[in-house]
Amino acid sequence: MRRRSRACLAALLALTAPSAVFADPAPLAVQILTVHPRPDVQSLSLTGEVAARDTLTASFPSSGRIAKMMVASGDHVKAGAVLAREDSVQQEQALRGAEAALASARATWVKARDDAARQDGLLKQGATTRSARDASADALRAAEAGVAQAQADLDRAKKALTDTVLKAPAAAQVIAKMADVGQVVGAAQPVLKLAVGLRTDAIFQVPEVLLTRSTSAPVKVVLAPVDQPDNFVIGMPRLISPLVDPRQGTVKVTVAMPALPAGTRIGDAIVGTIRQVDPPRISLPWTAMAATESGPAVWVVDPKTRRVHLQQVEILRYETGRIILESGLKDGQMVVGLGADRLYPGRAVRRAEGF
C-alpha cells in the first residue's frame, strides 16, 4: 500500500508541476527565405494567325461551271496569270456564230456598195431612175448598219469568252480557295482569295482583362512560329478592335509584322509574346502561404529568437507556383517557405539543409 501511494503521489506531482520542467521542442527544420523586392517581369504568350494586310477576292464576271483550277493555296502568281477557267462551249459556239454573221453582213455591204455605185453611174447616163438610185443608197446604209450590228455582236461574244478565264489582277499569293472544279458559280461569286503585296499582320484574340493594364512604353511583341521559338521577328500592335466578342470575352488585336519569319506562310499559327516590367515586388513560393481569419498571411521568422509569427499580407496576383505580394513584407525579412503548414505561433525553427 505504501508503494502504491508513493507512485500515485509521484504521478500527481508530475501532472501539476510547472510547464517549465518540460524541455522546449527542438527547432523545426524548414525552408527559410530572405525576401527582397525584384522587378516584376511578366511574360504573356498567345497563339494567333498570320494574315495578309491587303486582300481581294477573285471571281468570274459571268456564271458558269468551273472546268479548271490552275492554282492552289499558297501559290504565288504574277499579274495576268490564269487562275481558273469556266466551261466555255456555249461562248465558243456563240463566237463562231457572231463571226459568221459578221462575214455575211460584210458580203451584203459589198453587194450594196457595188449596186449603189452602179446606180449612180446609170443615173448620170440617164439609163435609170432617181428612185432606183435612192433605193440602192438606202440598201447600202442598211448594209452598213448590219455590219456595225454584227461587229458589236462579235465583240460581245469575244468578251463573253474572255470572261470564262479568271486572271490575277496583280501579283499576289493565293491564300484560300472558295470554289472547286465542277462547281457552278454565279457572276461575281468569290472563287479565290488573294493576298496582294508583301505586308502581313498577326491576328490575336486577346482576353479583355489583359487590355485593361495601361502602359506608357510602346508594347513590342515577339512573333515566332509555334515550333521554332528562336526564329522570331518583333512586331508592334497596329489595331485594337473597339468591340468585345460577347461569347469569348476577347478583343481582336492586329500586330504589324515587319517580315515573315523564315518558313512561315500566310495562314500559319504564330505565337506572340510580350514582356512587361512593373515596379519591384516581393514574390514567394505558394508553399509559404498561410491564412488568418482576416485573410492571407505568411510565417515570419524573428532573426534573434528564431521563432515564428503570422504576418498578414496583401496579394497582388497568383501565378503558377508563386504569389506576388502587393504589401505586408519589408526588404530583408525572413519567411518560411516549405514547412509552413507545420507551424504555430512561437514555434522555433531552423534552416533546413539544402535550402
**Which CATH number goes with the domain that contains 117?**
1.10.287
Residues 300, 334 contacting (CB under 8 angstroms): yes
173 bridge partner residues: 76, 195
Q: Which residues pair with 240 in a beta bridge?
A: 253
226-250 per-residue burial string, b: 16 or more CB within 10 A, e: under 16? eeeeeebbebebeeeeeeeeeeeeb
Look up the pTM and report it.
0.58
Same domain, 277 and 178: no
Q: Which of 20, 33, 28 is nearest to 307 (CA)?
A: 28
Domain assignment present for 1: no
Q: Domain with 185 in it: what CATH number?
A: 2.40.50.100
- Give the 3-state secondary structure of residue 271: strand
Residues 216, 131 share a domain: no
Task: Note whether 179 and 83 are same-domain residues.
Answer: yes
Q: Which amino acid appears at position 293 of this protein? A: E
Q: Are residues 310 and 286 in the same domain?
A: yes
Cβ contacts of 31 within 8 Å, gap of 6 or more: 287, 336, 337, 338, 339, 351, 352, 355
Q: pLDDT per position in the chain (355 positions), as tens? A: 445 444 444 444 444 444 444 456 888 999 999 999 988 777 888 999 999 999 999 999 999 999 999 999 888 899 999 999 999 999 999 999 999 999 999 999 999 999 999 988 888 888 888 898 889 999 999 999 999 999 999 999 999 999 999 999 989 989 889 999 999 999 999 999 999 988 899 999 988 877 766 555 568 899 999 988 889 999 999 998 888 888 888 999 999 999 988 888 888 899 999 887 778 889 999 999 998 888 999 999 999 999 999 999 999 888 888 898 989 899 999 999 998 888 889 999 999 887 6
Domain range for 133: 89-162
Grid coordinates given for 106:
460584210
Q: Do 152 and 186 sit in the same domain of this protein?
A: no
Residues 35 and 104 in one domain: no
Domain boundary among 114, 143, 162: 162
pLDDT of residue 102: 95
Cβ partners under 8 Å of residue 241, min gap 6: 251, 252, 253
CB-CB contact of 303 with 34 (8 Å): no
Domain assignment present for residue 289? The answer is yes
Same domain, residue pair 97 and 242: no
